Structure 1
Amino acid sequence: MITVVGTGTGTPVAEDVLAGAALVVGGRRHLDALRLPEGAERVVLGPLAPALDVVERHLEKASRVVVLASGDPGFFGIVRVLAERFGPGLLDVRPGVSSVATAFARIGLPWDDAVVVSAHGRELRTAVNVCRARPKVAVLTGPGAGPAELGAALLTDPCAPGAASAGPGSAPVAGPAEPVIAPARAPGGRVLVVASALGSARERVEWVTPAEAAARDWGPDVSVVLCLDETRALSGVRTVAGAPAGPAGWALDEDRFAHRDSMITKFEVRALALARLGPRLGDLVWDVGAGSGSVAVECARLGAAVVAVEKAPDGVARIRANADAHGVDVRVVQGSAPSALAGLDDPDAVFVGGGGRDLPAVVGACARRARRTVVVAMAALDRVPAAREALTGAGFACDGVLLQSSRLAPLPGDVTRLAATNPVFLLWGVRTPASREGVAQ
């Protein structure tokens, strides 16, 4: 039997848990905090494979094994690895309070509506994109993916204005008994709450901007980082925990968006474009030549972090208004592609609208950066070959369709006709395994 005990966030370890253990496995700080049974073998967790081999040898001798873990070991913890290796039937799990629950408790916020993402041993970009897309996120950190790296990655995002002064309320708070006072933040901005050494005498809970997080060496004691949009930290009563359910519908009618002279991607085109883009939580999507931002807003509603690139000032204003109207975060960059793309993080998927003379260069620039797919919508037949060549030249498998639709429209006499919409070419390129080399992973 393997007894898995959660500790380290103020949850005490019962005295009888260690009694008779032949092997005790855990982090150095957990092992040092307890008196181990005389004669018990002690294994400090580092690489998991050697520790699991030692556990297996003890189980073969029917020895009692105790594994010490932080907080709730069944929540992004060691229970998954142990269950996969030895089977859940051999586990006696005694959870403690998770670092996520403890951190939210320290600042007096509920967390049933929080999205929890792990950056421990994983690439940071997924956590960054979730922080950009959602107003309440808990990030489980790890070496190379701590508060400094998260803050630096968020600095380019206007939803996390790192240049803002932290203000007098940003001083660290030591100890769970003292009040945690949040500094004022710009509306719609992100603030990071860095919780370190939770449950110990060294506990610290600090509110910082992304810039302040990026400028610090946080050391090894960080337990969890919360990324908050304080204006939406309390979102009402929830029925399902975690990320909100996806929208009940998509490919919304054009009248759900502010637009100019019907210059908007029609819902039929948007429906197929969304199917090919596949936006989801953790993704970053570019909407290039965004116009009204209808594609950007729909991708954000489906959970992706979104950057909309638009050169016209009135278009930029419309995109922001549409994002606000639908309650989503869309980062808007004013400028002309491809030059406006230079400072952006690499996207998972890209939608390119419009069809000017620079379309092949824009599509090519997007294809060189996209990790998964590029979708291009064009009204002009003359632009299709060049756009297709730009996709295939970047190593994408390319396909497409001409969309022609007729909508029901009323006629006098309470009868109905079919009103044709303008035909639109939709091309999409999907990155092939051979073309992934050289793209940031």
Structure 2
Amino acid sequence: MTGSDTPRAGRITVLGAALAADHRGLIADADLVLGARRHLDAAGVPEGRALVLGPLAPALDAVAHAPTHARVVVLASGDPGFFGIVRVLAERFGPEALDVRPGTSSVAEAFARLGLPWDDAVVVSAHGRDPRTAFNVCRARRKTAVLTAPGAGPAEIGAALLAVPGVERRLVVASDLGGPAERVEQVTPAEAAARDWPGVHVVLCLAADGSGVGAMRALAGAADGADGADGADGADGGWALPEDAFDHRDSMVTKAEIRALALARLGPRLGELVWDIGAGSGSVAVECARLGAAVVAVERAEDGVRRVRTNARAHGVDVSVVHGSAPGALAGLPAPDAVFVGGGGADLPDVVAACAARARRTVVVTLAALDRVPAVRAALLAAGFTAEGVQLSAARLAPLPGEVSRLAATNPVFVLWGTRIPVRHLRVVDPSGDSL
């Protein structure tokens, strides 16, 4: 039923600060008061008028079937319009049925305790959501607030940060903000991972070196091009950057035209994890990080490892770098959403197969050798991916004497990509040819 079709129980007042002086009269006059047990007890709501919020569906049904002119009050924490109950109430009863009186959000309270602004922070909720999104945002961004949930509390966030090397963070764990048991602790990821944390409301994940507080900006939560101090989530300056934007050796860097298509197929975004295998200069890793993704770069050459780190620092992003060779170096890494595999030798099909076995969404491979294309396609198909590709050869304008130009060809490169096929779309065929 839509909001306009659903029976309404009169005005529904949503209080984000239940014990404020001007709210006590509303609570006392209400016919039905919904809230968590702690909110109902703190407000002194009698049992006959109280409904403890657990599963939302029965509570919403109770509101819908209350008498037409019943006065309903919903008790909430902080700002109920910020990852709170206002969304589901508005969807069920329509926003015009709501009288929302917000308090201060727990995120604002937590940053206030530290004396930090939070217009440059990314806020992610783990309630009823895949916790990997929160983990990846913490890896990618230097100022993140996580609204915690079972399976995505301080211990799990700490463990996720420890699972990738080189991402230095400190955690601020805030419990019962504004309440009698308020506690705000600063811990390392290792300390967080080793403890039990009951009753946590919000975790701030901050750069260990204190970076991430940039100049005044126009967009909250993401860099707007004014400073780029905490990673350019909007890719300030564009993407598919020219090769000279990266430190590289002997032109060993993925060319801009190839990188543009690879990025388009990878689709890096905030909340996801990307692997860059055989990272070289790290140009693809850095660009994925600039577009918001958490990134792990795997590189076997020691000078390549240093180069990836140099390029990440130069572009103001965090890239976790693993010194080793795939597929062996992939063991123990958190599973990626997308994988980029650059170049590769005779073991390239095995590397692609290992990556496809872990990737949730997409694998993109670039290679120069025509002879290896069939084996890479076969590896993608065998792993349950589609297998598509193109051969790209760009001709760039180059100056000639006399203020004229010529076309300078770049080396042709094959770009192959695969997208995981949902299980419901797979057909299993037995030797007789009948679908199972």
Q: TM-score of the superposition, structure 1-length normalised?
A: 0.89
Write the deviation string for residues 67-126 of structure 1: whole angstroms up to 9, x where unpaired: 000100000000000000111010000000000000000010000111000011211110
Q: Which stretch shifts more, 80-89 or 406-415? A: 406-415
**1:428 partnered with 2:417:** yes
- Where do 5+ consecutive residues of structure 1 fail to align? 161-188
The SS at the match of 1:252 is: coil
Indicate how the Cα distance of structure 1 residues 159 and 317 shifts in structure 2: closer, same or farther if over 3 A, else same.
closer
**1:133 partnered with 2:122:** no
**1:7 partnered with 2:17:** yes
CA distance in structure 1 between the partners assigned to 2:339 and 2:424 by the alignment: 16
Instruction: Kindly report the root-mean-square deviation, in angstroms, between the aligned alpha carbons of the 2 structures.
Output: 1.6
One of 177, 182, 195 as aligned partner of 1:216: 195
Question: What are the residue-to-residue correspondences of 1:349-360 with 2, within 5 Å?
Answer: 349-360=338-349
Distance apart, 1:13 and its partner CA: 6.1
- Where do 5+ consecutive residues of structure 2 fail to align? 1-10, 225-233, 427-436
CA distance in structure 1 between the partners assigned to 2:52 and 2:95 by the alignment: 23
Distance apart, 1:243 and its partner CA: 2.1
One of 61, 66, 84 as aligned partner of 2:91: 84
Question: What are the residue-to-residue correspondences of 1:169-318 with 2, within 5 Å?
Answer: 189-219=168-198, 221-229=199-207, 230-245=209-224, 246-247=234-235, 248-318=237-307
Indicate how the Cα distance of structure 1 residues 39 and 411 shifts in structure 2: closer, same or farther if over 3 A, else same.
closer
The one-letter amino acid paired with 1:296 is: A
The SS at the match of 1:315 is: helix
8 Å CA contact 1:24, 1:40 repeated in 2: no
Distance apart, 1:413 and its partner CA: 2.7
Percent of aligned positions with the same letter in both sequences? 70
Distance apart, 1:435 and its partner CA: 8.1
Distance apart, 1:436 and its partner CA: 9.8
The one-letter amino acid paired with 1:203 is: E
8 Å CA contact 2:63, 2:72 repeated in 1: yes
Runs of 4+ in 1 over 3 A off after TM superposition: 10-13
Distance apart, 1:159 and its partner CA: 4.3
Match for residue 64 of structure 2? Answer: 56
Write the deviation string for residues 377-420 of structure 1: whole angstroms up to 9, x where unpaired: 00011110000100011111111000011111122232211111
Write the deviation string for residues 46-77 of structure 1: whole angstroms up to 9, x where unpaired: 1111111111111x432100000010000000
8 Å CA contact 1:284, 1:304 repeated in 2: yes
Match for residue 42 of structure 1? Answer: 50
Indicate how the Cα distance of structure 1 residues 382 and 131 shifts in structure 2: closer, same or farther if over 3 A, else same.
same
Distance apart, 1:17 and its partner CA: 1.8
**1:362 partnered with 2:351:** yes
Indicate how the Cα distance of structure 1 residues 327 and 11 shifts in structure 2: closer, same or farther if over 3 A, else same.
farther
Q: TM-score of the superposition, structure 2-length normalised?
A: 0.90
8 Å CA contact 1:396, 1:435 repeated in 2: no
CA distance in structure 1 between the partners assigned to 2:274 and 2:123 by the alignment: 21
Q: What is the number of equivalent residue pairs in this alignment?
A: 405
The SS at the match of 1:33 is: helix
The one-letter amino acid paired with 2:61 is: D
Match for residue 40 of structure 2? Answer: 31
Indicate how the Cα distance of structure 1 residues 268 and 435 shifts in structure 2: closer, same or farther if over 3 A, else same.
farther
Match for residue 313 of structure 2? Answer: 324
Match for residue 142 of structure 1? Answer: 149
8 Å CA contact 1:132, 1:159 repeated in 2: no
